Amino acid sequence: MSAAGVLTISREESKMPSYLKTVEKWGVQEIEVHGKSDGNPYMDYTIRGIFRGQDEQVETDGFYDGDGIYKVRFMPSFEGEYHFRVEGTFSEETLEGDFTATAPSEGSHGPVRVAQKHWLSYEDGTPYYSVGTTCYAWVNQPEERQEQTLHTLKNSCFNKIRFCFFPKYYQYNLKEPITYPYLRGQSAGQDPERVRKAFHMPFIPDEPVARVTDFDCYRFNPEHFRRFDRRIRQLCGLGIEADLILMHPYDKWGFATMSRECDMLCLKYIVARYAAFRNVWWSLANEYDLTCKTEADWEDYAALICEKDPYHHMRSIHNCMKYYDYSRPWVTHCSMQRIDLYRHVENTDRYIETYDKPVVWDEISYEGNIDMGWGNISGEELVRRFWEASLRGGYAGHGETYMDPEDILWWSHGAVLHGTSEPRLAFLLKILQQTPGKYLKHGGGSFDEVVGIPCDNEKKGGFEPDYCNYEIHYFGFGRPSFRVFELPADSVYKAEVIDTWNMTVADAGKHSGHTRIALPGRPYMAVRLMKEV
């Protein structure tokens, strides 16, 4: 059993007593079985598992993994005895058996869920302070680089990573992936209308973009998907959510211009294969508005995922220029890219209110120095954006795009970090973990500060604000030499000066009534006030 808790039961093992077959709650119970391999097993046969425990009954699709092997995966959400049955046209026989779901191991808190409408928590109630990163194509890089990426992630604060199944063709991404999701063969599964409407990449003018595939988009390449099995499981073991990007426009192989039928087939395959991993999130698309697909397509695809995913993983869709309608019922959270160069995370509280859902800023420009504005902000500015988003009750995502002689940029390829922001994000995460009442929300404050307060507090703003038991006043790029607070005269507040860039928390004494707290006149400072009881 790996850290991610995968138990594989073969047909032979299925008859063994259940106490010999244990999987932990929120682990993956996998049933592996031989079946028919004639024709196109991805299309021609069905496989389905029914899992019955005392507290739940789950029906889920299985999938063909090549070489005559079919698999069904299940994530138990409760401890206790389970009975399973696997059936379908894949075989003449059904398969039945029992297993035991045990207590989760330390560090396993279950899938991430929406908590109190606007925040995120693991299923066991532990708050999830999302500090994401982005390595779009890391699982399509050479194996050695993938291992390096995992090593970097292990030593980082990141607890979510966004990446794609399909290979990526884009600036700094002109190399072929190590495998393709489909088998080569006679071109099959293309939609000519979508080919016509496909996104063009004007910044790669010398590269002919082949839009008609020489792949058979009805036949998956199991080797490709097995690698994703392994990587998702390893991320799970590191406590990192896998925000899986199901579709994207950066393509020259024809995968972005498949027919609806092939898109649906692919989505079903991916959900059947990965839904049982507790750390999976579904990102329907990256920059959906650059693809050749319509709103009707996205809505149908989302409906399919809702139907097929028995665990209701987090679901969203990521924009380029125009936000998707995040009020759609299937959207669990806003997965946002900034649509303005100057004001974006500063709207976090407004978007939370508008959509009544958690806001995750998955793209707010990356730390780096590439040519494009989405990839050349400073570490200071990226960290500032994280603090803005966090104190306003949202979550933010990191990425790094420093020029590299081999074009190995963390944002797409992974490998190692070169920037300055990550340690500061770790520091922010530590501060967030100290939040009383679990979650922060925007607490008004003056025009020139952002104030985070506990989510269960209420606060009156304006010229004569009141004060909560816990407040973080953040001054962003401002460089105040001091700040005046009008604290209640009958309470005592412990004050701390937080240097969010130099990662220090300094005692600033105890305060009551009209009071002044000295600051160093540098940017990126905060004052934390904690009422003494």
Residues that bind a second copy (CB under 8 A): 200, 202-203, 205, 340-343, 346, 368-374, 376-378, 381, 403, 446-449, 463-464, 475-484, 486, 514, 521, 523
Rounded Cα distance, 217 and 185, in Å? 9
- Which token pair is 471? 């407040």
Least distance to a second copy, CB of residue 145, Å: 22
Our CB check for a second copy shows the closer of 102 and 378 to be 378
In the complex, least distance from residue 312 CB atom to a second copy, rounded to whole angstroms? 35
List the structure tokens of 526. 């905060």
Work out the angle at residue 93's Cα, subtended by the Cα atoms of residues 88 and 95, and round it to the nearest 5 degrees.
80
524 in Cβ contact with 499 (< 8 Å):
yes
Question: Shortest CA distance to 76 belongs to which of 155, 23, 4?
Answer: 23
CB-based contacts of 129: which residues, under 8 Å, 6+ apart? Answer: 120, 159, 390, 395, 429, 432, 433
**Residue 404 beta carbon to a second copy: minimum distance, rounded to whole angstroms:** 11
Nearest approach, Cβ of residue 191 and a second copy (Å):
24
For residue 442, list its beta bridge partners.
Answer: 452
Query: Which alpha helices (H) appear in 73-211, and where do they start and end?
Result: 143-154, 192-197
CB 284 to a second copy: min, Å: 23
Nearer Cβ to a second copy (12/343): 343
**Taking a C-beta distance cutoff of 8 angstroms, is the pair 87, 74 a contact?**
no
Q: Residues 495, 509, 457, CA angle at the centre, nearest 5°? A: 25
CB of 403 vs a second copy, minimal distance in Å: 5
Residue closer to a second copy by CB (options 176, 207) is: 207
| Cβ at position 371, least distance to a second copy in Å | 5
Minimum distance between the CB of residue 245 and a second copy, rounded to whole angstroms? 21
**What are the structure tokens assigned to 283, written together?**
């990102």
Residue closer to a second copy by CB (options 79, 466) is 466
Closer to a second copy by Cβ: residue 489 or 533: 489
CA–CA distance, 149 with 143 (Å, rounded to integer): 10
Contact 91, 68 (CB under 8 A): no
**Residue placing its CB nearer to a second copy in the complex, 296 or 341:** 341
222-237 vs 260-274: helix crossing angle, rounded to 10: 40
CB nearer to a second copy: give 160 or 344.
344
Q: Between 205 and 329, whose beta carbon lies closer to a second copy?
A: 205
- Report the length, in residues, of the chain: 533
Q: What is the DSSP letter of 235?
A: H
